[in-house]
Each structure stands twice: as structure tokens, then as C-alpha cells.
A and B are shown apart, each in its own frame.
Chain A
Amino acid sequence: MSSTRERPEMAKLKIEDLKEIREKAARTRTLREGTGRARITVHMGTCGIAAGARKVMTALLEEVESRNLTDVIVTTSGCAGLCSREPMATVELLEQPPVKYADLDANRIVEILEKHVLGGEIVEAYSLGIGSERTH
């Protein structure tokens, strides 16, 4: 009854997917060399991932890449304990306390990059608090 034609095609990678994987991986070379005055940590615990943290990360990486921001470090961490407010991210600027943002999406993280990381102005609409978290 279950011929191979019936199975979901999306479970397979196609040639164009493989090409995209290669290209995206090659582009991370520059991102992996970044050193910085700013660090953005996207919380990538199980809760964050299920809530869409990877989309936030992808949007952020694309923005950092397209603006050629070599002094902005983008990284991930585990769950910070506020699973219901995910996706979350923490922004740290040199010599300033970290600021935590909650309920993010792709547009909001780009706005935060523009206003806070580049403009120096905390985006209060999405900010949760100031201070460090324990990630694990």
C-alpha cells in the first residue's frame, strides 16, 4: 500500500536544497571570523526553537551579513527560564549591561539591531529587563 511515491516529498532534500546548504555554509565563514563590540545572543533552548528562535537567528545573520557588520558577534545560548516569552535574545554592548528582549520575531530582531546595536537606543517595546541570565 505504501509505495515510495506516496511518501511526503518534503522529507527528502532536493538538489537545490543541497546547493543552498553548501552556499549558506560557505557564507558562514565570514560570520565565524567576527570580533566585536556587540554581542547578540539568541536563546536557542528547546522552548526557543519551538517558538521560532531559528527564524530570529536567520534574519539576524542575514542582516549582519548584508550590512557587513564585522564587529557584531551573533551567538546562541540555552533557555533562560522564561519559556513562555520566547523567542528571546540578549544584547550586550561593550561596557554596558546586557539587555534582554522577549517575544521576538524576524522583524523585531532587525529593528533591535538597527536601533539598539547600531543606534545605541534600547527598544523598550520589546525589552524585558537589564542584567545577565544563567543559561545552564
Chain B
Amino acid sequence: MEDLSLHILDVAENAINASASLITVEIEEREGEDLLVITICDNGKGMEPQALESALDPFYTTKEGKRIGLGLPFLAQAAREAGGDLEVRSAPGEGTEVRATFSLSHIDLKPLGDIAATLQTLMAGHPEVDFSFRYSGSDGEVVIDTRETGNGKA
């Protein structure tokens, strides 16, 4: 993956496949702590403990007929290469939270990339799902919520 916006799209697509009706994406730049935090939460079906345990194993997937699942391992790798880490919390019926941290000053931190294109792909491609996006950084804050802008579920 070239940039972080593509990783976000990938994890959010997982959430859609897990039947989520609400997906929240938060990007937080904490300059003082030299930290970039990306959190993707969904209210989908969640993971069984065994699936959760194997979620970062590239040779684990829940999909039938496939042997690899690279989405989360790729994001974990991107985080670790930039001085951060990845945590996944999930329980059946309670959705999933993926939290990736990065060191803002790390030379190997991938660019954020085209966040607008990621949001457009998700929002336009899945009108049945609500999306809530929040970005906060030194240049300001943006909050976009399909439940508030009226382009949520009918």
C-alpha cells in the first residue's frame, strides 16, 4: 500500500464485510507527543477470540477458499516500520476497533494520501452504511458524519 488512506479503505472494507451499519474513522495528530493515531471502529459482527488472536497473521483468513488475509498485517507492518504499533479489539456482537499508532517524525511514516478519495469510495459505494470521520491536527479539525449531513440511510 502506497499510503495510509489506502490502508484505512482496506480496513473499512473489512468492516463493511462484517455487516457494520456504522463505521467511524479517526485520525489524530498529536504533535506534542510525536504521535499519529488512526482508529477505525465498526459495529459489525466482531470476531471470535480465535479469529482475533490470528487477525495479524497473514496466513489467517475467515474467507472460504482463501489462504491469506493481508489487510491488517499490512497496516501493522506500516505502523511498526514508523515506530508505532497496531492493536485490534473485538468481540462477537460488539464490533471491532483497529487502532494504529505511528511516530509523526519517523522517516518511514507513509503519507496520509488521498483521504477524500477513501471517504468518497466508502460513502458513495455503501449508502446502506453510515460513516463518521474525524480528523484533528495542527491545521484544524474536520468532522464528517453521514448521519448529520443527511446522506445517511434513508
Residues of A whose CB lies within 8 Å of any CB of B are 2-4, 6-8, 10-15, 17-18, 20-29, 31-34, 42, 44-47, 49-50, 54-55, 57-58, 61, 74-76, 78-79, 81, 134-136
Contacts and interface: CB of A to CB of B under 8 A. Distances in A.
Interface stretch (B39-47, B84-92, B136-144): B136-144
Contacts of B17: 78, 135-136
A18 B142 contact: yes
Contact of B13 (A14, A17, A32, A45): A45
A4 B105 contact: yes
A29 B149 contact: yes
Nearest to A78: B17
Nearest to B115: A21
Contact of B123 (A22, A25, A49, A135): A25
Top-4 shortest CB links A-B:
A10-B111, A32-B127, A29-B151, A31-B124
Interface of B: 1, 4, 6, 9-10, 13, 16-17, 27, 29, 31, 34, 36, 63-66, 69-71, 74, 102, 104-107, 109-121, 123-127, 133, 135, 137-140, 142, 144, 146, 149-151
A90 B111 CA distance: 31
A7 B109 contact: yes
A41 B67 CA distance: 23
Given A21-B144, A32-B127, A49-B10, A79 B66 contact: yes
A76 B121 contact: yes
